[in-house]
Amino acid sequence: MAGEVQDNVWPLPKFHFKVEVEGGIVASFQEVSGLDTEVDIIEYRHGDSPVFSVIKMPGLRKATDVTLKKGMFTGDINFFTWFNENLMNTIARKNVQIMLLNEKGEAQIVWTLTNAFPKQLQGTDLKSASSEVAVETLVLAHEGIVTTAA
């Protein structure tokens, strides 16, 4: 019947999300990529082991840089300001939350980038024969990703 509550669970769509930067910056991004994390593998075998193969242990964690893309708006220079705060041995590190939202706009999964700072800020390319919007790209370096379910 139309309008009844379904018992099955649907996966969350990936098009409804928001990004919040510590310090009150909330931005509407078109695309977020690089929410990857991995663990180095340490291989070890002691000399008198009766097993003729190595054991594998988890080592240091690594996280890739996160790339965010958004449209450029008049007077919106928050990320240029943050990027310009990065000087020699002085880095404005902030925690960044990327939230995947449900249909009510409530966070369902949250990725928190720890101690993030802008590594690269790329303005848009300019083309006189194009009818595309101006899109800027922000690349964030960070010290790790913590994923939580809300």
For residue range 36-69, what is the model confidence (pLDDT) as tens digits?
999 999 999 988 988 889 999 999 999 999 999 9
Pair 134, 69: CB distance under 8 Å:
no
Residue 84 tokens, joined: 């310009």
- The reported pLDDT for the residue numbered 77 is 84
Q: Which residues contact 34 (CB under 8 A, 6 or more apart)?
A: 64, 65, 66, 67
Q: How many CB atoms lie within 10 A of CB 54?
A: 13
Residue 105 tokens, joined: 């706009």
Domain ranges of the chain: 17-149
Is residue 2 pLDDT above 70, yes or no? Answer: no
Q: Which residues contact 38 (CB under 8 A, 6 or more apart)?
A: 61, 62, 63
Bridge partners (DSSP) listed for residue 117: 141
- The reported pLDDT for the residue numbered 5 is 65
Pair 137, 66: CB distance under 8 Å:
no
**How far does CA 39 lie from the centroid of its chain?**
18
CATH no. for 17-149: 2.30.110.20
Q: Which residues contact 95 (CB under 8 A, 6 or more apart)?
A: 21, 22, 112, 113, 114, 115, 116
- The reported pLDDT for the residue numbered 11 is 85
- The reported pLDDT for the residue numbered 87 is 77
Question: CA angle, corner 124, sides to 123 and 129, nearest 5?
Answer: 155
Cα-Cα-Cα-Cα dihedral sign, residues 27, 28, 30, 31: positive
For residue range 92-129, what is the model confidence (pLDDT) as tens digits?
899 999 999 988 999 999 999 999 999 999 988 999 99
For residue range 61-98, what is the model confidence (pLDDT) as tens digits?
999 999 999 999 988 888 888 888 887 778 889 999 99
Is residue 18 pLDDT above 90, yes or no? Answer: yes
Q: In angstroms, rounded to a whole number, what is the distance separating the alpha carbons of residues 133 and 30?
A: 11
